[in-house]
Amino acid sequence: MRSLTRVLFAVATIMTLSASLALGFNESGIDHTDAGIATAYVSLSTTAYGLTVSIASAKETGHVGTMDVENLMPDIDDGDVPAYYGSRPWSHKAFASVVELSNASTSVHGLRVRHNQAAPDVMMAYSTELTALGYTVAEHSMTSNITVFTAIKGDETVRLVFVRKGGDTLVALSPS
């Protein structure tokens, strides 16, 4: 009985750790059959996955920035979306130049988005929204083009790396 309790405790600990070492990603706010989408909106929220990044074709609560996706959406019919993109249509194939996911088959262990906005504006929006969601945010400037945030809420720690690329800002999120 004691061995069974230890095994169950170990499994529960691993499941808890694995759940806290992932990010949420939600692309349900995008109509994949609409080739005319010019701007995608990025917002933050918390879900069972922890910090969750949502992409939508309209501004949602938790908005942190925009992405220029004009002419990137392929023109395909409704019925072809699952066949063409699989179960996570927004990830790698649809907008590879603005969204990149790592390990998207089961959970997201890394996420990178390209905002078509200046870095100071993007960093301020992320900091404000993370604070509103209950995260404690610490900023660590690395170079003139790279800034790192650490966001902590309970047992969850998320690292955000902001990189200035011309007029765009790349934001890489990963659980720590």
**Residue bearing tokens 């170079």:** 143
Helix (H, G, I), strand (E, B) or coil at 85: helix
Q: Write down the pLDDT at residue 103.
A: 67
The residue among 29, 27, 87, 96 whose CA lies nearest residue 58 is 29
- Report pLDDT for 85: 55
Report pLDDT for 134: 97
Check residue 73 and give its pLDDT.
Answer: 67
Distinct helix (H) and strand (E) counts, the chain: 3, 10
Residue type, 153: K
Q: Is 103 helix (H, G, I), strand (E, B) or coil?
A: coil
Longest dimension (CA), the chain: 61
Each residue's pLDDT tens digit in the chain (176 positions)?
444 333 333 333 333 333 446 888 888 888 766 777 889 999 999 988 889 999 999 999 999 999 998 877 665 555 555 555 555 544 445 566 688 777 655 567 888 999 999 999 999 999 999 999 999 999 998 888 999 999 999 999 999 999 999 999 999 999 98
Using CB atoms within 10 A of its CB, is residue 145 exposed (0-12), middle (13-18) or buried (19+)? exposed
d(CA 146, CA 136): 20
| Domains of the chain by residue range | 21-175
What is the helix (H) or strand (E) element at residue 161, kind and residue range? strand 156-165
